[in-house]
Chain A
Amino acid sequence: MPFDQAFALSSVFLAATAFTGLVLAQSVPLWLALPTAIILTISLLHAGGIHFVRQAMARVTVSPTLWNVLLIGALAILLIDLTVVSRDLLPAGIHFLVMLLAIKLLTLQQRRDYRHLYGISLMAILASAALTTDAWYVPIFLLYMLAAVWTLLLYHLTQETGETPAAVTPASTAAGQPTFPSRITHHFFWLTNGIAVLTVALTLAIFFLIPRIGAGMLQKTSGEALRTTGFSDRVDLGTIGSVKQDPQIVMRVELPDQPAIEKDRLYLRGLAYDQYNGRSWSHSGTRRRSLSLVADGTFLARPAGSRPLGSRSGTIRQDILLETLDTAVLFAVPFAELVSGEFLTVQADAMGGLHLPFPPSSRIRYSVTSQVPQLVENERTASVLAYPDSIRSHYLQVPLESQHVAELAHRVIQQATTPFGQTLAIQQHLLDNYRYSLEGDTATLSHPLEEFLFTRKTGYCEHYATAMVVMLRTVGIPARLVTGFLATEWNEYGGYFTVRQRDAHAWVEVYFPQSGWVTMDPTPSVSAAVTTSRWESLSRLGESVRLQWDRLFVRYSAKDQLAVVHGVREGSDALRERVRRWVSSLSAPISQVFSRLTHVARTFQPGMLELVTGVIVVGLALFLLMLRDRIGLWATTHLPTAHPELAIVQLYTRMLRTVERHGVSKPPAATASEFARLVEQEWKAAGPMVADVTALYHQGRFGRNPLTPGELSRAAEQVGRLQSLPHAAR
């Protein structure tokens, strides 16, 4: 098959694939789909070199004006469609696109037309991608890609060899395109298909790899999960300190429903600990229960049937993107009510910690709806609180040798009368009398708490929190230690908190019988002094871009991919069904359109008049715009002017413009005859007209007498012929 024929064929095939995509997205009504399909078939047959089609097409010659009229008609239909029929941009736009496609197929002559066809096809395939989530789109898209590779290769080759593509329209067939020796060899065929297949394979590979790359190689340099501390069953005092310098990002927390929330700090609770042995914290109860599933992927976090305790300040919904960590803990603002994500099961321990069965292998995204507990007013002032036994047995335990601590605690709370007041007093004592410092490794000390309280008087969150818990317990107030992250880094561009390793934190939960566990933090705020330099701001912007990328591309997870693969398999059945339905509905839409038209006619309102007038005016304006050359020609020759000698100059400049549109422009220093010779070289078809007009121009412009009306109209006629010439094949 010669290149030019293959080129035309693959171009039409490309358009056909895109059109099929639109049709299968059920976005093309039948009245439009049927003629377009017929035109496509004819074009395919014609480009494929079926003899009698070519012959039949060669007999039909249509002026370019008709195509312009058709185009304006399509525009008018778009307007009507937009305002009366579909009243929506997308369907109306798609109808217009299909009409353009059909018109372009019929006027396929020049390379420019082919480029337009590609543009329309691309838009069509994109539109169908936007309209459908169905699986049949995959094979269509693959076909489109194959055709696109073929077409672009052939386009380039035909361009390079300077060939004119065998046009699908009769005009160039009649002109008798010379046949070129370059044909599609076996070698070329396999090479092109190889490239196409390679492209598809690479795309698929990237498609399947990106989520894994995102979660794996690109995110971590070592290829391991982020090392986290403090989220196992046991926490040694002094371990968080080692990660407090690490700027590695652990998670990003969006707060989608709370635009007005205080954006300065957010406690993300991980695990709670109740047993302290003087050196390390641990859980007493290791039993976990599986959360009950309330909806697809949504789990109820609090025990079924239980009512939230105390007064609630409101719910906070968080969307959390959690990096791969070496822990199975899910973090959330205390206390989680609902957890939703792509999990099979979520477990909760007795102290409200959320766990996955095993650490996730890739970054995960989940959302949590939390109820933030607040102290009930009467507990704030109550002097005695009655704690249930289960709480007393668990949360009043202290290490054996804590007399010193107890003495200190009692000293501190002397002034306070209520448990809440005592709690505040202890918190205030810690805040006031101890210095925050990350220095000093207490992990090896035998009594790290005493060391912190009485000797060093410097420490960090773990020390503060442990001290507060132990002190509270020695005075009979149930409390526990909580580890997690304290998010302070608000990204104003993306609207989320960035949580880093160094935001790891430990704080205190104090129990009040009616209010439940209330969050307290005795650690002085050091991260309050967040620098807001421009550089920081810039880095936050970059961060936000990364999150967007993650959301749009990387989030497309392995599960989604699997769904696509399954969908392809199931989709083939659905496709058959759909085609059957589509074919059976062949007759229906015509009457439907008719009834819609009658409906429109019946509901004709005064406002319609303006609309119709508007459409007519726009159409007329376009029509005049299109015919302005002709009108101008007529005017220069027929209307009396003050300077009849200028008529030929006007005609000549009009001719210059026309020729310039075809890529041959007159250098300013070239004389008219030199330009005529140039045109003769560059654009042979226009040569005689230009030469004739030039001669008349010479005579009328520089001669003694102005041209006669007869000569003028001859010049006008030549310019008109020039304008209706098909574009120069260059």
Chain B
Amino acid sequence: MNSAHTIRAIQDNIALVIKGKSHVIEMAVVCLLARGHLLLEDVPGVGKTTLAHSLARSLDCSFKRIQFTSDLLPSDIVGVSMFNRQKQGFEFIPGPIFANVVLADEINRTTPKTQSSLLEAMSEAQISVDNQTHPLEQPFMVIATQNPAEYHGTFPLPESQLDRFLMRLCIGYPALEEERKVLARPHSLHPAETLEAVLSAHEVLALQTRVDQVHMEESLTDYLLAIVHATRQSELLSLGVSTRGALGLSKAAKALAVVRGRDYCLPDDIKELAPIVLSHRVMLNRTHGMRTQSFEQAERMVLDIVETVPVPV
């Protein structure tokens, strides 16, 4: 199947549910193709969960949803080893993490201990329980949501955990016209439930391989590194972008090139993705010591820094 066509199809499919948010949808698809994990951060009720749900639904893959609460335990996520009397031994019972798409809803409501249980899964795509390593299914994508407006009883994600997410997206309120369409919809069913899968897991893997083959010209790598370097040099930031962040930006840029129908990257890809990919990895200087920082502030800082880096001609 034509890759451009498939990518178009999945975006259109999600757009049936999420109205007027084509950019967010595109970025979510980019994240999927870049083998990244997505952090959706916004106020409740703007469609974070629906987006994750729709994305999962559009793929012919397994989907699990974990509602994160303060009493959730790591084993509730990764699974447990139980003694099997018949076999006279321990048997691993996989948790909900063993799915192609995992929705970690309200991830900041659970304890750091539980949050960190996701670490290995997200970076290594495997789970170690009782000295046994269990590879996860491919493709594997974690979509986490969190509500930035609420602080009571929450455990904001530590930097190390945030760094594992390729992107942080903010959905935002829909435009008036789009919101009217949402209201006009029949409510008998969750809209995401009506979606049909348009992409098989196999096709997703093929697209991800294609992303790896995207050509990134040498000067673009330099440009990307110049941006990353600028975040480390900037006086506005107390923490710059890590190497994992640079790697993520590179992968995301390649994925965006594929989504846009190219087999090579452009400076525009990097420039466009920089705020989305980098802003949750940096810490603002003036909020030093505070655990929270506003999404918009960080994004603006990164944008300002990008505007100081010359684009290669």
Using a CB–CB distance below 8 Å, which chain A residues touch chain B? 649, 652-653, 656, 668-674, 698-699, 701-704
Q: Do A702 and B220 touch across chains, with their CB atoms under 8 A apart?
A: yes
Q: Do A649 and B313 touch across chains, with their CB atoms under 8 A apart?
A: yes
Cα separation A656 to B311 with both chains bound (whole Å)? 14
Q: How far is the CB of B266 from chain A (nearest CB, A)?
A: 6
- Residue of A with least CB distance to B272: A671
Q: Do A671 and B313 touch across chains, with their CB atoms under 8 A apart?
A: no
Contact with A along B250-292 (1 / 0, CB 8 A): 0000000000001111111001000000000000000000000
Q: Which of B217, B271, B309 contacts A702 (CB 8 A)?
A: B217
Residues in B neighbouring A674, C-beta threshold 8 A: 268
Q: Which of B280-311 contact A (CB under 8 A)?
A: 306-311
Interface centre among A649, A672, A699 (most CB of B within 10 A): A672
Q: Which of A652, A668, A699, A703 contacts B310 (CB 8 A)?
A: A668
Q: Do B307 and A669 touch across chains, with their CB atoms under 8 A apart?
A: yes
Cα separation A672 to B270 with both chains bound (whole Å)? 13
Q: Which of A653, A668, A699, A703 contacts B311 (CB 8 A)?
A: A668
Q: Which of B132-170 contact A (CB under 8 A)?
A: none
Q: Do A669 and B217 touch across chains, with their CB atoms under 8 A apart?
A: no
- Residue of B with least CB distance to A698: B266
16 pairs from A and B in contact (CB 8 Å cutoff) = A653-B313, A669-B310, A671-B267, A671-B271, A671-B311, A672-B267, A672-B268, A672-B311, A673-B266, A674-B268, A699-B264, A702-B215, A702-B267, A703-B215, A703-B262, A703-B264
Residues in B neighbouring A652, C-beta threshold 8 A: 313
Interface of B is mostly: loop
Q: Do B266 and A671 touch across chains, with their CB atoms under 8 A apart?
A: yes
Cα separation A656 to B263 with both chains bound (whole Å)? 26
Cα separation A670 to B307 with both chains bound (whole Å)? 8
Q: Do B268 and A673 touch across chains, with their CB atoms under 8 A apart?
A: yes
Q: Do A704 and B266 touch across chains, with their CB atoms under 8 A apart?
A: no
Q: How far is the CB of B271 from chain A (nearest CB, A)?
A: 6
Q: How far is the CB of B215 from chain A (nearest CB, A)?
A: 4
A649-B313, A653-B313, A704-B215 given; A669·B306 CB < 8 A: yes
Residues in A neighbouring B217, C-beta threshold 8 A: 701-702
Cα separation A669 to B313 with both chains bound (whole Å)? 10
Interface size band for B: 10 to 19
Q: Do A670 and B268 touch across chains, with their CB atoms under 8 A apart?
A: no
- Residue of B with least CB distance to A674: B268
Cα separation A672 to B220 with both chains bound (whole Å)? 13
Residues in B neighbouring A649, C-beta threshold 8 A: 313
Residues in A neighbouring B268, C-beta threshold 8 A: 671-674
Q: How far is the CB of A360 from chain B (nearest CB, A)?
A: 75
Q: Do A704 and B311 touch across chains, with their CB atoms under 8 A apart?
A: no
Q: How far is the CB of A700 from chain B (nearest CB, A)?
A: 10
Contact with A along B49-70 (1 / 0, CB 8 A): 0000000000000000000000
A-B contact sample (8 more), CB < 8 A, given A702-B215, A704-B264: A656-B313, A668-B310, A669-B310, A672-B268, A673-B268, A674-B268, A702-B220, A704-B263
Residues in B neighbouring A699, C-beta threshold 8 A: 264
Q: How far is the CB of A361 from chain B (nearest CB, A)?
A: 74
Q: Do A702 and B311 touch across chains, with their CB atoms under 8 A apart?
A: no
Cα separation A701 to B310 with both chains bound (whole Å)? 16
Cα separation A656 to B220 with both chains bound (whole Å)? 20
- Residue of B with least CB distance to A668: B310
- Residue of B with least CB distance to A669: B307
Cα separation A704 to B307 with both chains bound (whole Å)? 27
Q: Do B306 and A702 touch across chains, with their CB atoms under 8 A apart?
A: no
Q: How far is the CB of A656 from chain B (nearest CB, A)?
A: 8
Cα separation A663 to B311 with both chains bound (whole Å)? 20
Q: How far is the CB of B57 from chain A (nearest CB, A)?
A: 33
Q: How far is the CB of B3 from chain A (nearest CB, A)?
A: 16
Residues in A neighbouring B309, C-beta threshold 8 A: 669
Cα separation A671 to B269 with both chains bound (whole Å)? 10
Cα separation A669 to B217 with both chains bound (whole Å)? 18
Q: How far is the CB of B240 from chain A (nearest CB, A)?
A: 18
- Residue of B with least CB distance to A703: B264
Residues in A neighbouring B310, C-beta threshold 8 A: 668-669
Cα separation A576 to B220 with both chains bound (whole Å)? 77
Cα separation A336 to B310 with both chains bound (whole Å)? 82
Cα separation A674 to B306 with both chains bound (whole Å)? 14
6 tightest A-B CB contacts, nearest first:
A668-B310, A671-B267, A704-B215, A703-B264, A702-B217, A671-B268
- Residue of A with least CB distance to B215: A704
Residues in B neighbouring A673, C-beta threshold 8 A: 266, 268
Q: How far is the CB of A129 from chain B (nearest CB, A)?
A: 52
Residues in A neighbouring B311, C-beta threshold 8 A: 668-672
Residues in A neighbouring B306, C-beta threshold 8 A: 669
Q: Which of B54-98 contact A (CB under 8 A)?
A: none
Residues in B neighbouring A698, C-beta threshold 8 A: 266
Cα separation A701 to B306 with both chains bound (whole Å)? 21
Residues in B neighbouring A672, C-beta threshold 8 A: 266-268, 311, 313
Cα separation A674 to B313 with both chains bound (whole Å)? 13
Q: Which of B219-264 contact A (CB under 8 A)?
A: 220, 262-264
Cα separation A258 to B103 with both chains bound (whole Å)? 107
- Residue of A with least CB distance to B220: A702
Cα separation A656 to B265 with both chains bound (whole Å)? 21
Cα separation A670 to B223 with both chains bound (whole Å)? 12
- Residue of A with least CB distance to B309: A669
Q: How far is the CB of B23 from chain A (nearest CB, A)?
A: 16
Residues in A neighbouring B215, C-beta threshold 8 A: 702-704
Cα separation A671 to B219 with both chains bound (whole Å)? 13
Interface centre among B267, B307, B308, B309 (most CB of A within 10 A): B267
Residues in A neighbouring B266, C-beta threshold 8 A: 671-673, 698, 702
Residues in B neighbouring A668, C-beta threshold 8 A: 310-311
Cα separation A698 to B264 with both chains bound (whole Å)? 9
Cα separation A673 to B269 with both chains bound (whole Å)? 11
Cα separation A704 to B214 with both chains bound (whole Å)? 9
Q: Do B307 and A702 touch across chains, with their CB atoms under 8 A apart?
A: no
- Residue of A with least CB distance to B311: A671
Q: Which of B171-198 contact A (CB under 8 A)?
A: none
Q: How far is the CB of B263 from chain A (nearest CB, A)?
A: 6
Cα separation A699 to B308 with both chains bound (whole Å)? 25
Cα separation A672 to B215 with both chains bound (whole Å)? 18
Residues in B neighbouring A653, C-beta threshold 8 A: 313
Q: How far is the CB of B90 from chain A (nearest CB, A)?
A: 51
Residues in A neighbouring B262, C-beta threshold 8 A: 703
Interface centre among A656, A699, A702, A703 (most CB of B within 10 A): A702
- Residue of B with least CB distance to A645: B217
Residues in A neighbouring B307, C-beta threshold 8 A: 669
Q: How far is the CB of A648 from chain B (nearest CB, A)?
A: 11
Q: Do A702 and B265 touch across chains, with their CB atoms under 8 A apart?
A: yes
Cα separation A289 to B98 with both chains bound (whole Å)? 134
- Residue of A with least CB distance to B257: A702
Q: How far is the CB of B274 from chain A (nearest CB, A)?
A: 12
- Residue of A with least CB distance to B306: A669
Interface centre among B263, B264, B309 (most CB of A within 10 A): B264
Residues in A neighbouring B263, C-beta threshold 8 A: 703-704
Q: How far is the CB of B74 from chain A (nearest CB, A)?
A: 44
- Residue of B with least CB distance to A649: B313
Cα separation A674 to B215 with both chains bound (whole Å)? 21
Q: How far is the CB of A279 from chain B (nearest CB, A)?
A: 94
Cα separation A698 to B310 with both chains bound (whole Å)? 16
- Residue of A with least CB distance to B265: A702
Cα separation A671 to B309 with both chains bound (whole Å)? 11
- Residue of A with least CB distance to B223: A671
Residues in A neighbouring B264, C-beta threshold 8 A: 699, 702-704
Cα separation A648 to B264 with both chains bound (whole Å)? 16
Q: Do B308 and A669 touch across chains, with their CB atoms under 8 A apart?
A: yes
Residues in A neighbouring B267, C-beta threshold 8 A: 671-672, 702
Cα separation A240 to B248 with both chains bound (whole Å)? 102
Residues in A neighbouring B271, C-beta threshold 8 A: 671
- Residue of A with least CB distance to B310: A668
- Residue of B with least CB distance to A697: B313
Cα separation A669 to B264 with both chains bound (whole Å)? 20
Interface centre among B217, B268, B313 (most CB of A within 10 A): B313
- Residue of A with least CB distance to B218: A702
